[in-house]
Chain A
Amino acid sequence: MYEQLPVPYGLVRFGVAPDHPEVKNCIEKFEEVASSPRFLYIGNVTVGRDVALKSLKPHYDAMLFSYGASEDRKLGIAGEDLKGVVSAREFVGWYNGLPQFQALEPALENGEEVVVIGQGNVALDVARILLTPVDKLRHTDITEQALETLSRSRVKSVRVVGRRGPLQAAFTVKEVRELMHIDHVQFEPINRSLYPPDIKKLPRVQKRIGEVMLKGTPPLSSHSTNSKSWALDFLKAPEQMNASSANSRQLSSIDFTHQTFAPDTDPFSKTAKVLPTEETSTLPASIAFRSVGYKSTAIPGLSDLGVPFDEKLGIIPNDQYGRIINPSTGPGSLTAGHVHGLYCAGWVKRGPTGVIASTMDDAFTSADVIIRDWESEVPFLNSPESDKSTGLGWYGVKDEVIARGVRVLDWGDWLRVDEMERLRGKNVGKEREKFVEVEDMLEGAGFVNFSRRG
């Protein structure tokens, strides 16, 4: 398993919210896999940069791409690059200690009003982290830097805005419920007409989310000071981001075009379509989070292996089971076919959606087809040519990678980093205190005086 960071676990470490530690228990399973003598961890090696895909190819029978979605979808509207407009993905990476985003420094002390654009669980995670009293996060594995910034936050109101209605929103009920249960945070009641008169007739999942939303939060006591609020705004599409009059680089408000359900659509169906109306409105915002989905990108050298990339869907084209397909490799001249020995799994296979259960099933399917192909003796990575794979795997490229000055971590190295992080955490009353810089991770693994690129 090649991993570009020194540390493993991807989104479980850098995506799952720090206040959801139980979700991270799946790490126990990963540790079990990693304990296999047939598993090799190759950390801190970026495939496509530190080692070319075509250099790896001769040494393997099969490769599986499961590198996820490393970019986010843009809104494509004016003002999106103003100061104060933050990618939710980067914000999540920042508070979870992803090295790439440690310099984000969200200006949470700049104003009281936040708008989150998009209505998935990432949007709700952002809202929850902003609204949760910072003391409730102190025992989690959120970074110290994030705690420090959050403790200076002046944010009082978070509006989570979506283009469609509540029955089309992507968030799940647990995340909505959690937001209803934060002390001193009031939910602005939603417009009842967005739901059918008899909510009990909705399918179970939609019905239960609806019940939570319509119930809202209990009224605050009149003595309550220092209260915060959150709201879900529906049927509003962002039109443009406006700078403040005092500072032409700083966000101050967002214009929205109101939407209405298309005449040929059932507004209570999951797939309802919307159309823009003439009506517009403006929401004040000192910070806006863009949270309209993630996107995978091609890694360098995919095309050398005959792997296409679907830029529009942001996935590697595949047969839905996990076999990578190429339009020109089919058995007939007009059919797409499997690119021998190449497979994919996870978000790069099916797009950036789903919970752990769906990702798990998806991964099992990909593994199943690899086994099935192997047992069916279909061609693998190097079998169409006469020479088979060298069977060397990592050891076929190791010298070349090390010669580039790359410090490579094996599983034992990671376990040392893990132990160090837990120790650091113990000192501050946390499960762990993550290293947030690659250099510190390497030092934690016991590498001293390294320099990555000379």
Chain B
Amino acid sequence: MAGAVLNKASLPRALQRASVDMSTSVKAARIRPFHCQSNWPSTAPVGVDATRWSAPAQSHIWNNFQPAAMPAFVRSRRAFSTSPTSQHGHIDPPKPGEERHVTFIDKEGLEHTFEVSDGDNLLDIAQDNDLEMEGACGGSCACSTCHVIVESDHYDKMEEPDDDENDMLDLAFGLTETSRLGCQVKMSKELDGLRVRLPSMTRNLQASDFESK
């Protein structure tokens, strides 16, 4: 069961991601934070609960996958971030003619563009689309785990961050001049085409002493 035989670049994005997760081979590059490897393997027989490894909503390919054909250990990128009990994360599809576009650049440098509605905030959008963004305080501007860096010139079109947001940004890792909290940035006509980057902790994991032995 090796994703290695697949030419990832030729696959649609959602499937690319799936193929990475399906691989059982050992590659350091695959190691991601725990939170994006959740979606616990079900104790139920494979295929009973297909929603457990649901894919991004826009992925038709994924939806057409035959669950029974997939190994039990397949994990989606669905993070802790979206729990059934959680209050955030509900995003309605945009009304025709009012689609706004936002692009997230993830920690691996991959771009993900979504069509969203006015008023959606970046944390909800990211979590609804299985991107790796935490929101430890549930989007209440009380932590800095949804930190994003605005890459496009939309930063100046946004309302200034208020004191509360700035207070939290002060604690963010890798703060920049155009840093914002995802939970505080709401999409609007002015922000159509917004591009934001998810900051990455440079963790550069060192191997255990014993690995080379």
Binding site for B on A (CB under 8 A): 20, 22-23, 25-26, 28-29, 31-33, 35-38, 172-174, 177, 204-205, 208, 319, 321, 323, 330-331, 335, 337-338, 340, 355-358, 360-361, 363-365, 367-369, 371-373, 375-379
Contact = CB atoms under 8 A, between A and B. Distances in A.
B35 A357 contact: no
Nearest to B139: A25
12 contacts: A22-B142, A25-B137, A29-B80, A31-B85, A32-B83, A38-B41, A204-B175, A360-B134, A360-B136, A364-B201, A372-B208, A378-B210
B168 A321 contact: no
A31 B163 CA distance: 30
Main secondary structure of the interface of A (DSSP, over half): helix
Q: Which of A25, A37, A177, A340 has the most CB of B within 10 A?
A: A25
B207 interface: yes
Contacts of B7: none
B54 interface: no
A204 B178 CA distance: 13
Given A37-B43, A38-B41, A357-B172, 13 more contacts: A25-B137, A32-B83, A32-B86, A37-B40, A174-B168, A204-B175, A338-B209, A364-B201, A368-B31, A368-B34, A372-B208, A373-B208, A376-B211
Contacts of B213: 331
Contact of B136 (A29, A37, A338, A376): A29
Interface residues of B, number: 48
Nearest to B42: A37
B173 A357 contact: yes
A120 to B, nearest CB: 14
B5 interface: no
A364 B81 CA distance: 14
A166 to B, nearest CB: 15
A177 B33 contact: no
A25 B138 CA distance: 6
Contacts of B86: 28, 32
A367 B34 contact: yes
Interface string B104-123: 00000000000000000000
Contacts of A172: 167, 170-171
Interface of B: 26, 28, 31-35, 37-38, 40-43, 80-81, 83, 85-86, 134, 136-138, 140-145, 163-164, 166-168, 170-173, 175, 201, 203, 205-211, 213
Given A29-B136, A37-B40, A177-B163, A337 B170 contact: no
Nearest to A25: B138
A20 B167 CA distance: 14
Nearest to A209: B170
A172 B31 CA distance: 33
B205 A368 contact: yes
A387 B201 CA distance: 38
B38 A22 contact: no
Nearest to B87: A28
The 7 A-B pairs with the shortest beta carbon distances in the complex, nearest first, are A25-B138, A367-B34, A364-B33, A22-B140, A22-B142, A36-B40, A32-B83
Nearest to B28: A372
Given A31-B85, A36-B40, A356 B168 contact: no
